[in-house]
Amino acid sequence: MSNAMGINKSRSAAPASRSVLRQMCAVRPIDPAPAGKARLKQVLSARALIAIGLGATIGSGIFVLTGTVAANHTGPAITLSLLIAAFGGGLAALCYSEFAAFLPVPGSAYSYTYATLGEALAWFIGWNLLLEYAISASAVAVSWSAYVVSLLVNAPLGLDANEHVIPTHALINVPAVVIVAAMTWLLYVGVRFSAGANSYMVALKVGIIIVIVIAGLSYIDTANWHPYIPPNTGVRGHFGWTGIMQGAAIIFFSYVGFDTASTTALEARNPQRDLPIGILGALLISAVLYVAMSTVLTGMVPYTKLDSDAPVALALDAHPQLSWLSPLLKIGVIAGMTSVILTSLLGQPRILLSMADDGLLPPTMSRCHPRFKTPHVSTVITGVFAALIAAVFPLDLLTDLISMGILLAFAVVCIGVLVLRYTRPDTPRPFRVPFAPVTCVLGATVCLGMTYFLSAATWLRLLVWTIIGMSIYAFYGYRHSHLRQ
């Protein structure tokens, strides 16, 4: 098998994921410095990785979905949905931490699946990660645009009551396109500058969330929390416990941040130590902030009024005493969402780079800029794709698809850790998942279980997306796979 996965010795600069796969099939330990590392700059500390995780996590989820999910699915019980999602995310984060320290390569769940469960399933996960990253950037760009232009509907396409895509007769969402293009350029010119800008924006938005929570505490009306779990309307997912579970599945999109940190493995200074810190630290901090924000929002105004692309601004505007704070907070929210777009666009190019290294995508997509040391071709492609999606699609359609993609990826990573425990039990692991059999199985079960509560329309869109992706794999990826060559 090692011969099948081997390559000519003259090709010493083999791509990282292929090199590690070859090592995993050999008897020697994994090389701590994977081949291909010189293509990217190793500049990210543990603090920067936590900031990247928070940058991708604290955005539309906390500033938008806390309101819309409460209004349409959970009522004040949005806090339960967040805790359920955090529980599932925490189990997956433990598994990510073991993989990231054990296998420090770019590609995130794609590379982990490739190493444990095979190429075809890895392609499926990598294709779905497009939903997690590029479309995540698009979704946040739509929310960013809503705050900028103070409109609730800004995209030319929307969803009707039956979740059918319909035209809204709006113009193309130009602000969303502009912000995606700007963040793509920032990532093109270097990860050090991008990480620094992200850290400042993360500090700003975390500070703003704390200000909102503290200021909002004085304006909470506990009557708005009754009933805590509104009775189900007779439709699955509309309040009651099915609403709480569907809310957890939708809000799961918010916990994408630690996955983003794992995609920067080759740009971390000490990935074996810093990646687990970045992954777990980002999840813990974001979970606390999400629960605090949702508690205050549903207490400040009735949950039925929070169905808006800008619910935080709506809650503040409902209290004239806070009007002096509203413009400043809106500016801060825009800055916070900007960091989410930045970090979402950071992860996808590195996944495309890994897929191209394995021959599943054209080799052009694995090129790195000789000066900036960034995957510039993949960065531009990701930016163009995200801008096109943001230009025409609404937030509610995008978030459900993102949640579906990330839930499937997290479930596969949990399974992959368990597989690797049996196939490579003696290999040293800088970080180990505690009680692995229970943690991994429970993590996969929770993540897969939440997909059940997503709408039938979301499943249909996933089916269409999967057919497109597997067709590309059949006609290009399978034939050009380095593993088969």
Whether residue 362 lies inside any domain: the answer is yes
Q: Which of 168, 166, 175 is nearest to 334 (CA)?
A: 175
CA–CA separation, 201 vs 333, rounded Å? 10
Sequential pLDDT tens for the chain (485 residues):
333 333 333 333 334 444 444 444 333 333 444 444 556 777 888 899 999 889 888 877 788 788 989 999 999 999 999 999 999 989 999 999 998 888 887 778 898 999 888 899 999 999 888 777 777 787 778 777 766 664 334 445 555 556 665 565 555 677 788 888 889 998 888 777 788 888 889 998 898 889 889 999 999 999 999 999 999 998 888 999 999 999 998 888 777 677 888 888 778 888 888 889 998 999 999 999 999 999 999 999 999 999 886 788 888 888 989 887 777 777 777 778 888 888 888 888 888 988 999 999 999 988 888 888 888 899 999 988 888 887 776 656 666 777 788 888 889 999 999 998 988 888 888 889 999 999 999 999 999 998 888 888 888 888 988 999 999 999 999 999 988 87
Q: Is the pTM of this model over 0.85?
A: no
Q: Could you give the number of structural domains in the chain?
A: 1
Whether residue 402 lies inside any domain: the answer is yes
Whether residue 471 lies inside any domain: the answer is yes
Torsional sign, CA 358, 360, 362, 366: negative
Residues of the domain holding 312: 46-480
pLDDT per residue over 28-58, tens digit each? 333 444 444 556 777 888 899 999 889 888 8
CA–CA separation, 20 vs 14, rounded Å? 10
Length of the chain: 485
Q: Which residues contact 206 (CB under 8 A, 6 or more apart)?
A: 54, 58, 285, 289
Place of tokens 């779990």: 229
Whether residue 30 lies inside any domain: the answer is no
Whether residue 13 lies inside any domain: the answer is no
CA–CA separation, 268 vs 101, rounded Å? 11
Contact assessment for residue 370 and residue 400, using Cβ atoms and an 8 Å cutoff: no
Question: Is residue 362 reached through a cis peptide bond, with omega within 30 degrees of 0 on the bond before it?
Answer: no
- CATH number at 106 reads 1.20.1740.10
Place of tokens 């021959």: 359
Place of tokens 């700003």: 204
Q: Which residues contact 142 (CB under 8 A, 6 or more apart)?
A: 154, 155, 173, 176, 309, 390, 393, 394, 395, 398
